[in-house]
């Protein structure tokens, strides 16, 4: 597998990364809520959040791979 360096990503500045952080958190929140609903709206908030975080960050990482 090849990975792109951050230097190869156009307009990828610390400001861009900072601005995308709320978008990342929103994606995680929405996925965690979906998992919560699939569970029948029962507890396990932390488990749902951690699973959602893992899925969303993995998906984002795949989009960086060439």
What is the per-residue pLDDT for 66?
55
Q: What is the DSSP string of 13-24?
A: -HHHHHHHHHHH
In the chain, the DSSP E strands lie at: none
What is the per-residue pLDDT for 19?
56
8: pLDDT confidence band, cut at 50, 70 and 90? Answer: very low
For residue 10, the 8-state DSSP code is T
Give which of 17, 21, 4, 15 is closest to 64, Cα–Cα: 4
Question: How far, in Å, CA of 50 to CA of 64, rounded?
Answer: 21
Q: What is the pTM of this model?
A: 0.65
Longest dimension (CA), the chain: 44
């Amino acid at each position: 597998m090849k990975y792109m360096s951050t230097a190869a990503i156009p307009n990828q500045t610390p400001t861009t990364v900072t601005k995308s952080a709320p978008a990342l958190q929103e994606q995680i929140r929405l996925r965690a809520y979906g998992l919560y609903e699939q569970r029948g709206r029962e507890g396990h908030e932390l488990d749902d959040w951690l699973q959602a975080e893992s899925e969303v960050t993995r998906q984002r990482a795949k989009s960086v791979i060439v």
